[in-house]
């Protein structure tokens, strides 16, 4: 999931951050005798929020609370509006599983797909409709148009930023991508697994993701903590879904592994060296494998530094890179379109021998160029 930057937080999050009466478990509204009082009644007034100052000095922990409260409000509204029976049925399945002491077997299909031999990298291409602060373009093509591009140019999976506030997408977009991918059944390349990249704060979101056809969900360690990460991994497994745990520090990464995570994604960390420092000292129990993903942050230029960073993350030992805004920086440029970015990130080139835009020279990768590498 693309990390939220403080300056991108809308006013709604700041207002919702003042809530003190939100239920921690919105989906519990479906329990017998539950209090379904609308959270809107507890929202602060305009005059109350007008005198509240929100600055970029806000601590990351406080920021996590802001974002979590905002998402909890979204989930509460979704529950009160009445989820479809298909989602409620899946939610009940989660609750039935959580009542049992039996160990749930964790699915590993996505983990295996993302983990290739040493010296190679796989790509998760994230779809989003909104690119805040990109400095280049603000509109992205519909998912049914980009979904086949991701597949045909070599992505291993497609993620959909299913948070309308930050990415402009909804679970309907997940459905659209899943349906488009399913059309490639029997073809080469075949359908890609779809990941629901939402800010998970409640198990009903996991049920939503499964109902939409997603094969995995993302959970952010810094927002929910180790205990919830462990619970969400079990909840997802009960529906056959895998969990990618977003982490930003070495402590969070180890906490995620301790909670049972088999896929972790380093997010909100700039630079390949800093990313590697997050996973470098991981202590992984014998017999377990952990897939590591590097989330590539978009740069405020058109120098394609993100491609070089993907190569460096590969050489540092990451199994996969997650790329989002960087795919759309050049719009539908015939050379630097999203598919070309994906295929070039997968290339065997190295910053030791060439840059992504090198057209001439000697050495491995020197003549490779975006759009020319179809690997």
Residue 89 has which token pair? 């049925």
pLDDT 10s digits, 151-173: 999 999 999 999 888 888 999 99
Rounded to 5°, angle at Cα 322 from 298 and 144: 95
- What's 25's DSSP letter? -
What is the reported pTM?
Answer: 0.79
CA gap 283, 278 in Å, rounded: 12
Q: For residues 43 and 96, is the Cβ–Cβ distance under 8 A?
A: no
Looking at residue 6, what is its pLDDT? 36
Strand ranges in 75-220 using DSSP code E only, listed in sequence order: 122-127, 157-160, 194-196, 216-220
DSSP 79-96: HHH---HHHHHHHHHHHH
Indicate the pLDDT class of residue 202, thresholds 50, 70 and 90. Answer: very high
Residue 85 burial by Cβ neighbours in a 10 Å radius (0-12, 13-18, 19+): exposed
**What's the rounded Cα separation, in Å, for the pair 109 and 115?**
10
The dihedrals phi and psi of 352, each to the nearest 5 degrees, come to -70, -25
23: CB partners within 8 A, 6+ apart: 29, 72, 76
Q: Which residue has the tokens 């290339």?
A: 347
- Categorize the per-residue pLDDT at 344 as very low, low, confident or very high, splitting at 50, 70 and 90: very high
Distances (CA, A) of 6 to 164, 338, 356: 17, 27, 31
For residue 185, the model assigns a pLDDT of: 96
The token pair at 81 is 């509006």
Beta carbons of 127 and 146 less than 8 angstroms apart: yes
- pLDDT level of residue 81 (50, 70, 90 thresholds): very high
Over residues 35-76, the pLDDT tens digits come to 443 333 333 333 333 333 222 233 444 556 788 888 999 999
Strand 157-160 and strand 194-196: the pairing is parallel
pLDDT digits (tens, 9 = 90+) for 103-122: 778 889 999 999 998 889 99
Percent of the chain at pLDDT > 70 equals 71
Neighbours of 156 (CB within 10 A): 23
Q: What is the pLDDT of residue 139?
A: 63
């Amino acid at each position: 999931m693309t990390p939220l930057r403080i300056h991108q937080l809308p006013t709604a999050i700041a207002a919702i951050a003042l809530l003190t009466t939100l239920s921690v478990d919105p989906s519990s509204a479906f329990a017998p005798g539950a209090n379904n009082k609308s959270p809107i009644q507890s929202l602060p007034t305009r005059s109350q929020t007008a005198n509240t100052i929100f600055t970029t000095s806000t601590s990351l922990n406080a920021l996590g609370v802001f974002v979590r409260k905002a998402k909890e409000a979204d989930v509460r509204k979704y529950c009160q509006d009445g989820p479809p029976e298909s989602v409620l049925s899946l939610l009940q399945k989660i609750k039935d599983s959580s009542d049992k002491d039996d160990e749930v077997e964790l699915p590993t299909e996505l983990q295996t797909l993302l983990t290739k031999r040493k010296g190679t990298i796989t790509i998760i291409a994230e779809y989003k409709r909104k690119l805040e602060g990109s400095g280049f373009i603000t509109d992205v093509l519909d998912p049914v148009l980009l979904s086949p591009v991701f597949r045909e140019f070599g992505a291993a999976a497609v993620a959909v930023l299913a948070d309308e506030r930050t990415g402009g997408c909804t679970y309907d977009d997940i459905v659209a991508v899943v349906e488009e991918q399913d059309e490639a059944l029997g073809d080469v390349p075949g359908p890609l697994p779809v990941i629901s990249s939402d800010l998970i704060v409640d198990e009903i979101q996991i049920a939503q993701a499964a109902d939409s056809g997603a094969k995995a969900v993302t959970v952010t360690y810094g927002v929910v903590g180790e205990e919830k990460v462990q619970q969400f991994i079990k909840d997802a497994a009960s529906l056959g879904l895998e969990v990618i745990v977003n982490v930003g520090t070495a402590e969070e990464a180890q906490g995620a592994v301790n909670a049972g995570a088999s896929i972790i994604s380093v997010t909100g960390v700039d630079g390949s060296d800093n990313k590697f420092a997050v996973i470098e000292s991981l202590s992984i129990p014998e017999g377990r494998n952990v897939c590591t993903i590097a989330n590539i942050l978009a740069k405020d230029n058109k120098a394609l530094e993100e491609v070089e960073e993907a190569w460096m993350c590969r050489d540092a030992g990451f199994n996969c890179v997650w790329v989002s805004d960087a795919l759309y920086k050049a719009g539908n440029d015939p050379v630097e379109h999203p598919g070309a970015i994906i295929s070039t990130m997968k290339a065997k080139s190295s910053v030791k021998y060439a840059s992504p835009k090198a057209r001439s020279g000697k050495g491995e990768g020197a003549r490779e160029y975006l759009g020319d590498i179809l690997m």
